[in-house]
């Protein structure tokens, strides 16, 4: 039996799909439900279902980031989206990330069954799907890294941690660390320091700013640490950079 999870912040939809779809006909059973994106992600990671029907327009949830996270971590997992969000570009991106079906609410039971049949068929051809899923997994991983880097670029001057960025991209710290190393060739701290030092080099042009001011502005709490990182990245001190490169 294939395990199914249904996630939607409208209980009537979760209960309706759970009760009205003839799951046994497709060798499936519903083994989990959730009523929020956060609850759903926690349940998915705990139970690792084969098939998911999920809304992507729930409060506090970025649907595309969630899909990318799931397909990156669980490439064989089959996902169909239930949504009232009628945007063709969004739909295309979801499919590119590995979504099987994009079902607009209100969905007919026949449409849900058709999506279920396709997902079950994909699972039965698991070996073929696994060979093809490498592309989806790579696409999802690239999507996650792009969003992680964007978040770091926008929040570099805060007390950022790997865990904070992982939460924003819906993946575990371990998985995000693996993706960053694989795609960027650097770990989280190295990338963050690189972003901060690049910004510091721009601020050094402002002669009214002291080195200590710049250190704080780019997110370092200790000017000595900033100085060490700057010299390691640039080969010279911040003062030398200001005096010789600007």
Highest mean pLDDT of the ranges 64-68, 112-116, 137-141: 112-116
pLDDT at position 220 is 96
Confidence of residue 135 (pLDDT cuts 50, 70, 90): low
User: What's the mean per-residue pLDDT of the chain?
Assistant: 90
Whether residues 96 and 209 fall in one domain:
no
pLDDT at position 136 is 67
Q: What percent of the chain has pLDDT over 90?
A: 67
- The verdict on residue 164 lying in a domain is no
pLDDT at position 133 is 52
Whether residues 124 and 194 fall in one domain:
no
- The verdict on residue 163 lying in a domain is no
Among 19, 25, 20, which residue's Cα sits nearest to residue 2?
Answer: 25
pLDDT at position 239 is 93
Farthest-apart Cα atoms in the chain, separation: 75
Average pLDDT over residues 121-134: 68
pLDDT exceeds 90 at position 41: no
- The verdict on residue 201 lying in a domain is yes
pLDDT exceeds 60 at position 70: yes
pLDDT at position 107 is 86
- The verdict on residue 7 lying in a domain is yes
pLDDT at position 131 is 47
CATH number at residue 13: 3.40.50.2300
CATH number at residue 229: 1.10.10.60
Q: In this predicted structure, which of 66-75, 87-96, 114-123, 220-229 has the lowest mean pLDDT?
A: 87-96
pLDDT exceeds 80 at position 127: no
Domain final position from 133, 154, 177: 133
Tally the domains of the chain. 2
Give the model confidence (pLDDT) of 169-207 as tens digits. Answer: 989 899 999 999 999 999 999 999 999 999 999 999 999
Among 230, 149, 168, which residue's Cα sits nearest to residue 193?
Answer: 230
Whether residues 194 and 129 fall in one domain:
no
User: 134 versus 80: which is more confidently predicted?
Assistant: 80
d(CA 56, CA 65): 10
**String of DSSP letters for the chain:** -EEEEEE-S-HHHHHHHHHHS-GGGGTEEEEEEESSHHHHHHHHHHH--SEEEE-S--TT--HHHHHHHHHHH-TT-EEEEEES---HHHHHHHHHTT-SEEEESSPPHHHHHHHHHHHHHHHHTHHHHHHHHHHHHHHHHHHHHHHHHHHHHHHTTS---HHHHHHHHTS-HHHHHHHHHHHHSS-HHHHHHHHHHHHHHHHTT-TTS-HHHHHHHTT-S-HHHHHHHHHHHHSS-HHHHHHHT-
Give the model confidence (pLDDT) of 84-94 as tens digits. Answer: 877 777 788 88
| pTM summary value | 0.78
Among 78, 141, 90, 146, which residue's Cα sits nearest to residue 115?
Answer: 78
- The verdict on residue 176 lying in a domain is no
pLDDT at position 20 is 94
pLDDT exceeds 90 at position 223: yes
Region class of 139: left (phi > 0), else alpha (psi between -120 and 50), else beta: alpha
Domain, as residue range, for 128: 2-133
Whether residues 30 and 105 fall in one domain:
yes
pLDDT at position 61 is 79
- The verdict on residue 223 lying in a domain is yes
Region class of 228: left (phi > 0), else alpha (psi between -120 and 50), else beta: alpha
Among 20, 28, 29, which residue's Cα sits nearest to residue 109?
Answer: 20
Among 77, 81, 41, 39, which residue's Cα sits nearest to residue 57?
Answer: 81
């Amino acid at each position: 039996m294939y395990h199914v999870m249904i996630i939607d912040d409208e209980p009537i939809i979760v209960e309706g799909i759970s009760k009205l779809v003839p799951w046994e006909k497709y060798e499936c059973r519903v083994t989990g439900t959730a009523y929020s994106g956060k609850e759903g992600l926690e349940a998915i990671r705990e139970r690792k279902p084969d098939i998911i029907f999920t809304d992507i327009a729930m409060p506090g949830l970025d649907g595309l980031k969630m899909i990318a996270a799931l397909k990156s971590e669980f490439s064989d997992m089959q996902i169909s989206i239930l949504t009232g969000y009628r945007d063709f570009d969004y739909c295309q991106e979801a499919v590119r990330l590995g979504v099987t079906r994009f079902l607009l609410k209100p969905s007919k039971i026949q449409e849900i069954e058709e999506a279920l049949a396709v997902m079950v068929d994909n699972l039965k051809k698991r070996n073929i799907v696994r060979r093809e899923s490498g592309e989806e997994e790579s696409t999802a991983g690239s999507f996650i890294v792009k969003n992680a880097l964007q978040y770091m670029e926008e929040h570099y001057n805060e007390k950022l941690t790997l865990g904070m960025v992982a939460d924003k991209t819906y993946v575990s710290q371990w998985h995000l660390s693996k993706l960053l190393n694989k795609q960027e060739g650097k770990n989280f701290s190295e990338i963050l320091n690189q972003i901060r030092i690049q910004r510091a080099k721009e601020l050094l042009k402002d002669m009214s700013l002291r080195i200590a001011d710049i250190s704080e502005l780019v997110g370092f709490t200790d000017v000595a640490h900033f100085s060490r990182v700057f010299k390691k990245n640039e080969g010279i001190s911040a003062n030398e950079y200001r005096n010789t490169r600007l």
